[in-house]
């Protein structure tokens, strides 16, 4: 393609630079706040800190709760347990169903696919109130088991759809060969297809983990006892309406989101295909 005119070049680079600056500015402000003393956000607009301190990180990691436990580690553990349990439950319960939806033909298959799709697209916030009433009745508010049940409502349909998409890409010849050798349906799945699907399962699992790790509103509704808080609830509560400590927030936000952001960058090319592939075509 031929080189564009100088004016086009200048305008393009200028526009790109401005947009990139707008994208980076809030992130830089948070980094600045994390290393700058004081609880308030920013009196001046500069994204460069004037004095450096590690106090906010000290507050974050050093804060102790009512039983002398380290608060941050405690809440990180809660987050980790909730996200890991959701992932395990989601993947284990959905991989056989994803395989069946990909390979078997049976009446009700399309209806099943649509049902999983609708549940995945529609927000869990629609179910928040009935789930609250039910978990209250079952005595599962403020428990990790209850939170995992709530997270599973979105994790399972997500896993079914992404894994089904992955099984669709695997060749059928190996299965047929296994069948010829006399393997039953379960053996074919467990000995042949499951090992082949491991990369897809790993990616799906990591995405479920990220989603649960980043979830805020369910956790803040279902966990009212502050020793049960997950990290998002802890971070949000640090900038509540009456006492805001933006330094604590910034340090917490950085520590909490860096691992998932790294994961996101590694996995993002898998995400787009999966999301749009199933969304409307059914």
Partner 1 sequence: MSTASNQMRDWGLAALFASIVAIAVFVGHRNHELRARQLELASAGAEAIAEGREPPTGVEAAGLVGAARPSPHYAFLRKRTVITEGKVRELGGAHAPATDKLLYDAAQRFDRNGAFVELLGDNSGRAVAARAAKNGIAVSVVAPSNPAGMPWLILLGALGLGAVIAAAGALVGGAARPLGLALGGALLAIPAYGWGGAGATISIVAGALAITFAQMRGTIDRCAAGLRRHKTALAFLAPATIAMLVLVATPFCVGLVLGFFDHHQGQWTFVGLHNFGEILSGGGRAFDDPLNFWFILGVTVLWTAANVILHVTLGVALALVLKQSWLRGKGVYRMLLILPWAIPNYITALIWKGMFQGEYGAINALLHSAGLDGVSWFSSWSTAFTANVVTNTWLGFPFMMVVALGALESIPRDFYEAAEVDGATGWQRFWHITLPHLRPALAPAVVLGSIWTFNMFNVIFLVSGGKPGGSTDILVTDAYRWAFERGERYGMAAAYGTIIFLVLLLWTVFGARIGRKEEAA
46: left (phi over 0), alpha (psi -120 to 50) or beta: beta
56 neighbors 262 (Cβ within 8 angstroms): no
Query: Which residues 212-231 are close enough to bind partner 1 by CB under 8 A?
Result: 213-214, 216-217, 221
Neighbours of 102 (CB within 10 A): 20
Angle, alpha carbons 122-125-127 (nearest 5°): 85
| DSSP code of residue 239 | B
59 neighbors 248 (Cβ within 8 angstroms): yes
Using CB under 8 A as the binding rule, whether residue 111 contacts partner 1 is answered as no
Query: Which residues 123-152 are close enough to bind partner 1 by CB under 8 A?
Result: 123, 125-134, 149, 152
Nearer residue to partner 1 within complex by CB, 80 or 128:
128
Nearer residue to partner 1 within complex by CB, 1 or 66:
1
Nearer residue to partner 1 within complex by CB, 24 or 64:
24
Q: What is the pattern of x (binds partner 1, CB under 8 A) and - over residues 4-23? A: x----x--x--xx--xx-xx
State the DSSP H helix or E strand holding residue 85, giving kind and residue range, or none if neither. helix 71-103
Applying CB under 8 A, the span of 51-59, 73-81, 197-205, 254-262 interacting with partner 1 comes to: 254-262
The CB-of-178 to partner 1 minimum distance in angstroms stands at 14
- Mention every residue, 6+ apart, whose C-beta is less than 8 A from residue 125: 217
d(CA 142, CA 120): 25
Nearer residue to partner 1 within complex by CB, 24 or 177:
24
d(CA 282, CA 4): 42
The CB-of-223 to partner 1 minimum distance in angstroms stands at 13
> Which among 207, 205, 202, 218 has a CA at the least distance from the CA of 148?
218
Nearer residue to partner 1 within complex by CB, 67 or 169:
169
The CB-of-68 to partner 1 minimum distance in angstroms stands at 29
Candidate residues 142, 143, 227, 236; the one interacting with partner 1 per rule CB under 8 A: 236
Applying CB under 8 A, the span of 2-10, 60-68, 71-79, 166-174 interacting with partner 1 comes to: 2-10
Query: Which residues 64-93 are close enough to bind partner 1 by CB under 8 A?
Result: 89, 92-93
Candidate residues 35, 72, 116, 248; the one interacting with partner 1 per rule CB under 8 A: 116
Applying CB under 8 A, the span of 48-56, 169-177, 199-207, 233-241 interacting with partner 1 comes to: 233-241
- Mention every residue, 6+ apart, whose C-beta is less than 8 A from residue 138: 146
């Amino acid at each position: 393609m031929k080189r564009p005119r100088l004016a086009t070049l200048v305008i393009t680079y200028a526009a790109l630079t401005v947009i990139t600056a707008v994208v980076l500015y809030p992130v830089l402000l948070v980094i600045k706040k994390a290393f700058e003393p004081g609880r308030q956000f920013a009196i001046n607009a500069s994204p460069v800190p004037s004095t450096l301190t590690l106090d906010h990180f000290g507050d974050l990691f050093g804060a102790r709760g009512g039983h002398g436990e380290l608060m941050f580690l405690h809440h990180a553990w809660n987050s980790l347990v909730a996200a890991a349990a959701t992932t395990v439950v989601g993947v284990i319960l959905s991989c056989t169903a994803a395989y069946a939806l990909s390979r078997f033909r049976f009446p009700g298959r399309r209806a099943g696919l649509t049902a999983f799709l609708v549940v995945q697209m529609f927000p869990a916030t629609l179910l928040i109130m009935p789930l609250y009433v039910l978990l209250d009745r079952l005595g599962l508010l403020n428990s990790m088991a209850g939170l995992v049940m709530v997270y599973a409502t979105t994790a399972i349909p997500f896993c079914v759809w992404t894994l089904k998409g992955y099984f669709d890409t695997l060749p059928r010849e190996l299965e047929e060969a296994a069948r010829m050798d006399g393997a039953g349906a379960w053996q074919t799945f467990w000995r042949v297809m499951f090992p082949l699907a491991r990369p897809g399962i790993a990616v799906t699992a990591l995405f479920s983990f990220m989603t649960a790790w980043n979830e805020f509103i369910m956790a803040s509704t279902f966990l009212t006892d502050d020793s049960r808080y997950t990290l998002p609830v802890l971070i949000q509560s640090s900038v509540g309406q009456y006492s805001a400590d933006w330094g604590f927030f910034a340090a917490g936000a950085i520590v909490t989101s860096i691992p998932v952001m790294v994961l996101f960058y590694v996995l993002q090319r898998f995400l787009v295909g999966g999301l749009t592939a199933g969304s409307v075509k059914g």
